[in-house]
Structure 1
């Protein structure tokens, strides 16, 4: 799996909050943001799978 660069422009206050959250977890800001995006993507895919399963079994 390759990688691609994503550049973001964010305000100073948000960056400081991200640094704080990342530091509490012993992570870099980059790792924290990527982990958050991966988690959000998983949650979305999981919810879609649940909805499809409910449709399949006729659960409303």
Structure 2
């Protein structure tokens, strides 16, 4: 899988908060944001899979 550049414009307060969260985990802001987006994407895909399974088998 290749990589692509995504440029974001965010205000200073949000950037400071992101820097703080990233620093607590010993990560760069970029790595922190990518990890967060990846986790949220997984959560959404997992939720969708559970819903589809429930529809297929019938919710209890």
Runs of 4+ displaced beyond 6 Å: none
Q: Secondary structure at the match of 2:9?
A: coil
Residue 30 (structure 1) shift: 0.0
Q: Secondary structure at the match of 1:13?
A: helix
Find out whether 1:33 has 2:33 as its counterpart.
Answer: yes
| TM-score (norm: length of structure 2) | 0.97
How well do the aligned residues superpose, as a CA RMSD in angstroms? Answer: 0.7
Q: What is the total number of aligned residue pairs between the two structures?
A: 60
Unaligned runs of 5+ in 2: none
Taking the TM superposition and a 5 Å limit, the aligned residue runs for 1:6-21 are 6-21=6-21
CA distance in 2, matches of 1:23, 1:36: 14
Aligned partner of 1:56 in structure 2 is 56
| TM-score (norm: length of structure 1) | 0.97
